[in-house]
């Protein structure tokens, strides 16, 4: 089984916020494969289905972002033999809007949800998909306020395209082809056709 966890905060006030893009991506993935995220278990809402010939469980922790590790640990202990089969999907303020970065492991960086997960699992060895949320309007204001705000109307088209690409990347993960997902999606959207360019060195953790 593969377990895909999108990070976010419960509550309608956060539903479309930058900090909830992990939930938006998981919802889009579930919709594509007709997975109903309706089961309340392990401090999360979950759903399960078949993707690329294998079993996939998707989850949205209900613990609020800073305690994401509590739910993730319960889910991992219940369903996985290895954290190599875990994918965490979350927002990254250090990446430009809608840019994707997929890695098989790494530090939590400055993201509180990821810090909680690393602490709970006592490991940095699990795949993650980071979705850039740093738009043109990001300046010297409070980081917390910015990530808890909704995407602007001007940002939405690019965000929607980025979410589509993230879903395609998750399909490759579900197939067991993380390396291909990294090769194909660790690059920019460069025009209206979303044609890729050669991957650049990732300066962020």
**Catalytic positions:** 19
The set of residues, in sequence order, having a beta carbon less than 8 Å from that of 5 and lying 6+ positions away, is 22, 26, 44, 58, 59, 60, 61, 68, 71, 72, 75, 86, 87, 88, 89
**Torsion over CA of 105, 21, 154 and 170, rounded to 10 degrees?**
60
């Amino acid at each position: 089984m593969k377990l895909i966890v999108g990070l976010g905060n419960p509550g309608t006030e956060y539903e479309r916020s930058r900090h909830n893009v992990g939930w938006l991506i998981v919802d889009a993935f579930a919709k594509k494969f007709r997975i109903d995220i309706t089961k309340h278990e392990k401090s999360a809402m979950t759903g399960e289905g078949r993707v690329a010939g294998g079993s996939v469980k998707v989850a949205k922790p209900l613990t609020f972002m800073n305690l994401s590790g509590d739910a993730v640990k319960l889910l991992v202990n219940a369903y996985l033999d290895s954290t190599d089969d875990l994918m965490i999907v979350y927002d990254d303020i250090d990446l430009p809007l809608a840019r994707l970065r997929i890695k098989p492991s790494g530090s939590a960086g400055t993201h509180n949800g990821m810090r909680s997960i690393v602490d709970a699992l006592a490991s940095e060895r699990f795949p993650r998909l980071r979705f850039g949320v740093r738009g043109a309007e990001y300046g010297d204001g409070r980081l917390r306020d910015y990530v808890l705000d909704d995407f602007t109307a001007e940002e939405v088209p690019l965000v929607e395209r980025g979410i589509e690409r993230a879903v395609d990347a998750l399909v490759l993960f579900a197939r067991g082809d993380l390396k291909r997902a990294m090769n194909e999606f660790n690059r920019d959207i460069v025009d209206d056709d979303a044609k890729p360019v050669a991957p650049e060195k990732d300066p962020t953790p």
